[in-house]
Chain A
Amino acid sequence: MTDAAMIWNLLAALIIGLGYLAAFVFVGGLLLRIALYIKTPVPLKIVQTPGPKSAPGVLARIAGDVLIFPNLFQADKLLWLGAWIFHACLFLILVRHTRYFLYPVPELVIDWQTISVYAGFFFPIPALYLFWRRLASSRVLYISGLPDYITLILLTAIASTGMLVHYFARVYLVDVKAFTLGLVTFAPVPPPQHPIFIAHFLLVCALLIWFPFSKLMHAGGIFFSPTRNQIDNVLYPRYVNKWNEEVRVD
């Protein structure tokens, strides 16, 4: 074996190891954070009015929050537009990327080929708008911290390298799929020898590690927000706090 082949094998092993580490941190971190959300006491009804009066109403409210961000729409129309396009593009791109992890690939994912190509082209624009907004508005700049920028930089870098490997410095998709399927099935094979693809993969690993410890957890936290997921029935049933001490009144 030549020196170059040995170095490549070592690098491939590191990349594969990092992929598994990122997946472990992502899944473990996500579960821990969700467990924390579930365990957090919610002793009072703090539903945000006008609140839903039933469980289906709560489902509809959360679905609305997830899909169309109505509160943001009321607050800032331009930010709503940028955020909605950003999330819609991200959703399309993520669904389309499931083709690398599934075999056979679902028909829906194949059918979304064209629209997700446009989403990929369009994605950096709202991402750059959200980044620019943090710098251009003095109020937003004041409350922005390094983690806010890291998230946007990571997402934009991932999108940019993704576009490069898809359109300009193309990578052979069969090798990419063999690599990702190998990771998923615990029978890893070396990644394609393509520097931009490897950069794309490492950036995704960084994002996965970053995800559970960042504001990106709003993706899971939105389902556990007590102001949004409670039923507004505070006046109907008698509500007794479970950990109140019993008071003798005789």
Chain B
Amino acid sequence: MNKFLLLMLLLALAALTIACVPEKPVKDGHGELAVVIDREFTSPVTHSPLDWWQTRHFQAVNNGDIKEKDCLYCHKVERSCNNCHGYVGVRKIVP
């Protein structure tokens, strides 16, 4: 009986864990972490190709090529910075 209860508890915990996991943040995607940037802003040339920029933008900031505050002209911190940063567990941007 105790083993059955323990198994049920583990299954419930597993189900809860699965239910709590959101969709990964994707630009114009779905879910609570979707990356949304207002349509009025066009993507600057530095962001191309996007795959490269997504993985390297922190180096541009660390090297001083751009300033963090410059990103915030187009990016809303909660909708297109910290949703990704929180998802992968890196330092959050403070506006």
Which residues of A are interface residues toward B (Cβ below 8 A)?
99-100, 102-105, 109-110, 113, 170-178, 181, 184-187
Nearest CB to that of A171 among chain B residues?
A: B55
Could you pull out 23 A-B pairs where Cβ atoms are within 8 angstroms?
A99-B89, A100-B89, A102-B89, A104-B86, A109-B89, A110-B89, A110-B91, A110-B92, A113-B90, A171-B55, A173-B55, A173-B88, A173-B90, A174-B24, A174-B26, A175-B24, A176-B88, A177-B87, A178-B24, A185-B21, A186-B14, A186-B18, A187-B21
Q: Which residues of B contact A103 (CB under 8 A)?
A: 20-22, 87
**How far, in whole Å, are A105 and B22 apart by their CA atoms in the complex?**
13
Q: Which residues of B contact A184 (CB under 8 A)?
A: 17
Q: Which residues of A contact B2 (CB under 8 A)?
A: none
Given contacts A110-B90, A178-B24, A185-B21, 15 further A-B contacts (CB under 8 A): A100-B88, A103-B20, A103-B21, A105-B88, A110-B89, A110-B91, A113-B90, A170-B56, A172-B51, A174-B25, A174-B88, A184-B17, A185-B14, A186-B18, A187-B21
Nearest CB to that of B88 among chain A residues?
A: A173
**How far, in whole Å, are A172 and B88 apart by their CA atoms in the complex?**
10
Instruction: Tell me if B54 counts as interface (CB < 8 A to partner A).
Output: yes
Q: Which residues of A contact B51 (CB under 8 A)?
A: 172
Instruction: Tell me if B74 counts as interface (CB < 8 A to partner A).
Output: no
Contact assessment for B18 and A187 in the assembled complex, using a CB-CB cutoff below 8 Å: yes
Nearest Cβ distance between residue A51 and chain B, in whole angstroms? Answer: 37
Q: Take A181-B21, A185-B21 as given contacts and tell me if A113 and B91 are in contact as well, using a CB distance cutoff of 8 Å.
A: yes
**Which DSSP category, helix, strand, loop or mixed, fits chain B's interface?**
helix
- For the side of the interface on B, what is the size category? 20 to 34
Instruction: Tell me if B36 counts as interface (CB < 8 A to partner A).
Output: no
Nearest Cβ distance between residue B43 and chain A, in whole angstroms? Answer: 17
Nearest Cβ distance between residue B26 and chain A, in whole angstroms? Answer: 8
The one of B20, B55, B56, B88 in contact with A177, judged by C-beta atoms closer than 8 angstroms, is B88
**How far, in whole Å, are A181 and B71 apart by their CA atoms in the complex?**
29
Q: Which residues of B contact A174 (CB under 8 A)?
A: 24-26, 54, 84, 87-88
Interface positions of B from 23 to 70, Cβ below 8 Å from A = 24-26, 51, 54-56
**How far, in whole Å, are A183 and B14 apart by their CA atoms in the complex?**
12
Nearest Cβ distance between residue A99 and chain B, in whole angstroms? Answer: 3
Q: Take A170-B55, A172-B51 as given contacts and tell me if A185 and B90 are in contact as well, using a CB distance cutoff of 8 Å.
A: no
Contact assessment for B89 and A185 in the assembled complex, using a CB-CB cutoff below 8 Å: no
Nearest CB to that of A105 among chain B residues?
A: B89
Contact assessment for A172 and B87 in the assembled complex, using a CB-CB cutoff below 8 Å: no
**How far, in whole Å, are A185 and B20 apart by their CA atoms in the complex?**
10
**How far, in whole Å, are A181 and B31 apart by their CA atoms in the complex?**
16
Nearest CB to that of A114 among chain B residues?
A: B91
The one of A100, A172, A177 in contact with B54, judged by C-beta atoms closer than 8 angstroms, is A172
Contact assessment for A185 and B18 in the assembled complex, using a CB-CB cutoff below 8 Å: yes
